[in-house]
Structure 1
Amino acid sequence: MGKDLKDDYQTDYVVGQDNVARFGFDMHNIVFPVTAVLILAFVIGTLVFPSVSGEWLNGAKNGAIAIFDWGFLLSANLFVLFALALIFMPVGKIRIGGVDAKPEFSLLSWFAMLFAAGMGIGLMFWAVAEPVAYFTDWYGTPLGVEPNTQEGARLAMGATMYHWGLHPWAIYAVVGLSLAFFTYNKNLPLTIRSAFFPILGDKVWGWPGNVIDIMAVLATIFGLATSLGLGAQQAASGLNYLFGIGGGLNVQLAVIVGVTAIATVSVMRGIHGGVKLLSNTNMVIAAVLLLFVMFAGSTMAFLQTLWDTTASYATNMLALSNPFGRDEDTTWFHGWTVFYWAWWISWSPFVGMFIARVSKGRTVREFVTAVLLVPTLITVVWMSVFGGNALDQIQNQVGALSSEGLTEVSLAMFQMLENIPLGSIASFVGIVLVLVFFVTSSDSGSLVIDSITSGGKIDAPKSQRVFWAVSEGAIAGVLLFVGGDQALNALQSGAVSVGLPFTFVLLAMCYSLFKGLHHERRLLIAEGKM
C-alpha cells in the first residue's frame, strides 16, 4: 500500500533540467525570458502610451471588479473556511518536511518574517487612512452606515479589520501551505506549478506550468513595484511633513534608490543574514511604536476601540462577506472590498511562496494557526491603536484630520501622530519603519521571483537575486519618473487584474492541497508513523 501511494507522486523531472546557465544566471529557459520580455514590453508601453495603457488597464481592473465581484467574495470566504477546517482536521498533524523535520527558524523569527512580507507595510499606510475614509465618507461607507456617527465609527473600524483580518491571511495560507507541502513533503521544486501536480501530473512541467509560473512572476513584480512606488510617496510625504525638505519626485526617487540598494545587499546575504535580520528589526521597531502610541495617545479610547473593533468585525463579517443585494454600498463595496480581495490574491504567489520557504518543520495545524489567527489578533490591536486614535481626534475636533479631513492618504498617519506627545519622534520612527518594511518586501520578493524563474531552485546564483531586486526598484523609479502617478496607477491596475485569473488558480490549489494532504496521511498511517 505504501509503495502504491508513493508512486502517485513520483516524477522523472529534475529541478533545473530546463534551465540555461548564462551571464552568471541559472534561468528556466521559458519562464525567465518570457517574463522579462513581458515586463519590458509593459514598462515601455506604459511610458510611451501612458493615457491609453492607463485607460486599458483601469478598464480591465474595473471590469473584473464589476463583473466578478461575487466571485471574489465567495472565493475569499471559501479560503477562510478551508483554512480553518485544516486546523481541526486529522491532516493538521502532518509535519511539513516529514515527521523528523525540524524548524529552520525560531518561532519569533518565523512569525516576524511572514508578517513583514505579508502586509506590514500596508498596515503603516492604511491603519489611519482607511478608518478615517470610512468614517468621513471619503469614498462611500460600509453597509450604507451614516458617516460621522458613533455607529459609523464602530463600523469603520470593523470594516477596516475585515479587510486586514482572516480573509487575506487565509489567501496567503492556502498558497503558502500548498507550496511548502509539495516542496518539502513531495520533493517537488519550490515554484507555483508544483502545487498542481496532483491535478496535472507531469504536465505541470510543460506549458500549463509555464503559464502558471509566468502569471505568478508578473503579479509579484508588478505588486512589489507598485508598493515600492506608493511607499516612496508616503516616506517622502512624511519627511516633508517633519523636516520641510519637499516631498516631490526627487525625494521619492532617492527613497526608491536607497531602499533598492539596501534590499540588494540584504538579498545577497540570503534569508538568515538578510530577511531574518531585517524582519526581526521590523518587529522590534513596530512593537516600540505600537506601545508608545498606545500609551501616549488616549489609552481609554484604545481600550474602547479594541472592544468595538473586535465586536464590529465579528458581528458584521457575514454582512460584509455577502456579495449580493449590496445596493446601499455598491461604490464602497467595489472600490474597497473587491479591490482588496483582487489585490491580496495577486500578491499571494509572492507572500505564499516566501512563507513556504521559511516554514519547513512546522505542522499543518501550527502553520495555519500562525499564518491565519496570530496576525489577525495582532492586526486588531494595531488598527485599534492607530485608527482608534485618529477617529478619537476627529470626534473631539483635534488636529488636521478633524479640520481638513483625509486630504492625502500618505499623510494621514503623520497627521494623527502630531497630536500626541513626542509626535515628531513617533513620526520619524514611523518613516524608518515604512522604509525597513519596504526593504524586507523587496528582499523577500526577489528571493521568490528568483526561485520561480530558476525553475524552483532555492540556491540560484546571487547575481540572479540582485537582478530582480534592482529590477523592482528600476521599474518603480522609471515609471514614477516618466509617468508619475498615472503610470503607477496603471501598474497597480495591472497587478489587480491578474487577481481574476489567479482566483481560479487558488481554487484549484485548494483541491490539490486537500488531495495531497490526504494522500500523505494515508501514507503515514500505512507506514505506522501516524
Structure 2
Amino acid sequence: MVTAQIMDNKLNKYSIETTDYQVGQDNLQKWGFDIHNPVFGISAGLIFLFISIMLFVDPGTAKEALNSIKNGIMKDFDTFFMWSTNFFLLFTIVLMLSPLGKIRIGGKEASAEYSTLSWIAMLFAAGMGIGLLFWGVAEPTAYFTDWWGTPLNVEAYTPEAKSLAMGATIFHWGVHGWAIYAIVALSLSFFAYNKGLPLSIRSVFYPIFGDRAWGWLGHIVDVMAVLATIFGLATSLGLGAQQATSGINHVFGTNGGIGMQFGIIIFVTFIAILSVIRGIEGGVKLLSNINMLFALALLLFVIYVSFDIVMVSIPETFIAYADHIFTLSNPHDRDDTVWMHGWTVFYWAWWISWSPFVGMFIARISKGRTVRQFLFAVIFIPTFMTIIWMAVFGGIAIDQVANKVGELGATGLTDISLTLFHVYDALPFGDALSILSIVLILVFFITSSDSGSLVIDSITSGGKIDAPIPQRIFWATTEGAIAAVMLWIGGKEALQALQSGVVATALPFTFVLLLMCVSLIKGLNSERALYQ
C-alpha cells in the first residue's frame, strides 16, 4: 500500500497511515506497457477523437471556433488571470522568505541528484526552449513598431516605446511565468519525495481531498494534464518545424515545404525517442547540457559582433523591466486592453496551460534542494538569463529598425519565422549565426519533446518515475504524429486551432493552481517542526 503521511496535531509531526490507493492496483501490464487504466485509456481516446474530428472539419472553421472560445475566456476572465498570476509570484516570494524555506525536498538528509549547472540547463531547456530564439527578436520589434498594438498605448518608434518594448517582453518571460512553474514543480516534488506519494498531479491534493484524490477527481486532473502537455508539445513541434523550414530555405536557398517539415518532425522525434530510452541521466541531461553550450556560444558570438549596441541594451533592459513591471501587472484602468488581452493574458494562459508539463519535469530533477534554494533558482536564475538574452537579440533588432539597417530596418516585422534571420543578415558572419541557430532550434525541439514524453509517461503510469521503454516510445511518437497530422490536415491553421484549445485549458488549471497553493502550505506546515 502507498503510505500517505498525515499530521498528528498533538505531536505536530507525521504518522504513517495507509490509504485505499495503491500504485499499480489499477495498472495494466501488457505489451511492455505499465498503463494506469482510466488516465491512459481516456487520454489516448480523447486524442484519437480530436484527431478524427479534425480530419472531417475544415481547419479554418475549427480555428475560428476554438479561437472564439479562447478569446471569450481571456476577455471575460482577464482580471482573474492577471491577479492570479500576481498572486502566484507573491506567494512564492513569501514562501521563499518564510521559515518554510528551510525544508529540504526529499527530507533533511537528501542530496541533489544533479549538479546545479545541469539542473539549470534542464529546467531552462524544458521551460523556455525555442521561444527565446524567435520571440527574443520578434516580440520587442512588434511592440516598438506597433505591429499589433503597443503596451500602454505608447507612441511607436519613440524612446519610451523602446523602453516599454523591452520591459513588456521581459514581463512576459520573467518572474511571473516562472513562479507558475515553480508552484507546480515544488508541490509535485514535495509530495512525491517527502511524503512518498506518486509523482502525479492528483497527489498534490491529498491534504485537501484525502482518498478522493485517487478516484475520478484525480483521474480528471491527470487527464487534463496529459492533454494540455501533449497538444502543447505537438503545437510547438509543428509550428517549430515550419519555422525551421523557413530558416533553412532562407539560409541555403532551398524551397522546402511540407516534405521538409515532415522530415524535421521525424528527425526530432527519432532523437527524442533515443533520449527518452536513455532516461534523464543519459538522454535529457546530456542534450540539455549540449543545448546550453550551443546557446551560450551563440549569445557570446552575437555580443562580440554587436558589442556597442549590446552594452547599452543590457542595462537599459534591466531598468525597463523594473520600471514597468508594476504598471503592466495592474489590469485596471488600462487603455490598452486589446494589447493586454492579445499578449499578456494570452501569455499567462499559455504559461498556466504548460505548467503541468514543465512543473512535473522540474519536480523530477529537483530532489535535494531546499524550498528556498529551489524557488530562488527556478524563478530568478532563468529570468536573469532571459533578460540578458532578450536584451541582446531584442536590442539589436530594435536598433536595426530605428536606424533603418538591413531587411528588418527596411520592411519591419513581416514574417516572424524569418525575423531572427533578417537580423543575422545585417551582422558579420550572418550565415554562420543562422546555421548555429538552426542547430540550436532543433536541439531545443528535442529537449522539449523528450522531457514532455517523460512527464506523460509518469502521469499515464499512475505516477511512476520510470515507465517502461515501450511506453516512453509510444508517447514520444504520438507527439510527433499529432504534429505531422495537423500539418497535413491544415498546416498553420490546424496548429493554431490546437494551440487555442490548449490555451482554453488554462482557466480550469488556474483554479487547480490556487488549490495547489493551499495544499502545499498544509503539507509544508506539517513538516516544519522537523526543521526547528
**Shared fold, TM over 0.5:** yes
Q: What is the deviation of 1:474?
A: 0.3
CA distance in 2, matches of 1:508, 1:9: 23
Residues 12 and 526, structure 2, Cα contact 8 Å, conserved in 1? no
Provide the secondary structure at the position in 2 that maps to 1:440.
helix
Of 17, 20, 26, 2:28 maps to 20
Paired amino acid for 1:135: F
Paired amino acid for 1:290: L
CA distance in 1, matches of 2:23, 2:394: 47
Matches within 5 A, 1:24-423: 24-49=32-57, 50-297=59-306, 299-326=307-334, 328-423=335-430
Provide the secondary structure at the position in 2 that maps to 1:26.
strand
Q: Partner of 1:444 in structure 2? A: 451
Q: What is the deviation of 1:4?
A: 6.5
Answer with 45-54 or 344-353: which moved more: 45-54
CA distance in 2, matches of 1:13, 1:361: 27
Residues 54 and 489, structure 2, Cα contact 8 Å, conserved in 1? no
Residues 260 and 442, structure 1, Cα contact 8 Å, conserved in 2? yes
Deviations 1:466-502 (A, max 9, x none): 0000000000001101211111011100110001110
Deviations 1:176-233 (A, max 9, x none): 0000000000000000111111111111000110010001001101110010011111
Query: CA-atom RMSD, angstroms?
Result: 1.2
Q: What is the deviation of 1:300?
A: 2.4
Q: Partner of 1:518 in structure 2? A: 525
Deviations 1:428-450 (A, max 9, x none): 10010010011000000000000
CA distance in 1, matches of 2:203, 2:160: 47
Paired amino acid for 1:402: G
Q: What is the deviation of 1:8?
A: 7.7
The answer to whether residue 498 in structure 2 is matched with residue 491 in structure 1 is yes
CA distance in 1, matches of 2:232, 2:272: 16
Deviations 1:385-442 (A, max 9, x none): 0000111111111011111111111111111111111011011100100100110000
Residues 114 and 355, structure 1, Cα contact 8 Å, conserved in 2? yes
Provide the secondary structure at the position in 2 that maps to 1:140.
coil
CA distance in 1, matches of 2:259, 2:356: 32
Q: Partner of 1:466 in structure 2? A: 473
CA distance in 2, matches of 1:408, 1:80: 34
Paired amino acid for 1:392: D
Q: What is the deviation of 1:11?
A: 2.9
Provide the secondary structure at the position in 1 that maps to 2:65.
helix
Residues 233 and 247, structure 1, Cα contact 8 Å, conserved in 2? no
* TM-score normalized by the length of structure 2: 0.97
Structure 2 vs 1, CA of residues 29 and 4 (structure 1 numbering), >3 Å: closer, same or farther? Answer: farther
Answer with 79-88 or 443-452: which moved more: 79-88
Answer with 201-210 or 308-317: which moved more: 308-317
Paired amino acid for 2:37: N
Q: What is the deviation of 1:52?
A: 3.5
CA distance in 1, matches of 2:167, 2:315: 10
Residues 228 and 354, structure 2, Cα contact 8 Å, conserved in 1? yes
CA distance in 2, matches of 1:144, 1:107: 41
Answer with 6-15 or 60-69: which moved more: 6-15
Paired amino acid for 1:516: G
CA distance in 1, matches of 2:17, 2:202: 14
Residues 451 and 457, structure 1, Cα contact 8 Å, conserved in 2? yes
Provide the secondary structure at the position in 1 that maps to 2:321.
helix
Provide the secondary structure at the position in 2 that maps to 1:471.
helix
The answer to whether residue 440 in structure 2 is matched with residue 433 in structure 1 is yes
The answer to whether residue 485 in structure 2 is matched with residue 478 in structure 1 is yes
Paired amino acid for 1:45: I
Deviations 1:144-169 (A, max 9, x none): 01001111111100000000000110
Provide the secondary structure at the position in 2 that maps to 1:6.
strand
* TM-score normalized by the length of structure 1: 0.97
Q: What is the deviation of 1:10?
A: 4.8
Q: What is the deviation of 1:9?
A: 6.6
Structure 1, unpaired ranges of 5+: none
Residues 142 and 155, structure 1, Cα contact 8 Å, conserved in 2? yes
Residues 47 and 483, structure 1, Cα contact 8 Å, conserved in 2? no
CA distance in 2, matches of 1:285, 1:333: 34
Identity, in percent, stands at 60
Q: What is the deviation of 1:51?
A: 3.6
CA distance in 2, matches of 1:46, 1:388: 41
Deviations 1:294-336 (A, max 9, x none): 1111x2221221122111111111111111122x212211111
CA distance in 1, matches of 2:274, 2:36: 24
Provide the secondary structure at the position in 1 that maps to 2:29.
strand
Structure 2 vs 1, CA of residues 346 and 42 (structure 1 numbering), >3 Å: closer, same or farther? Answer: same
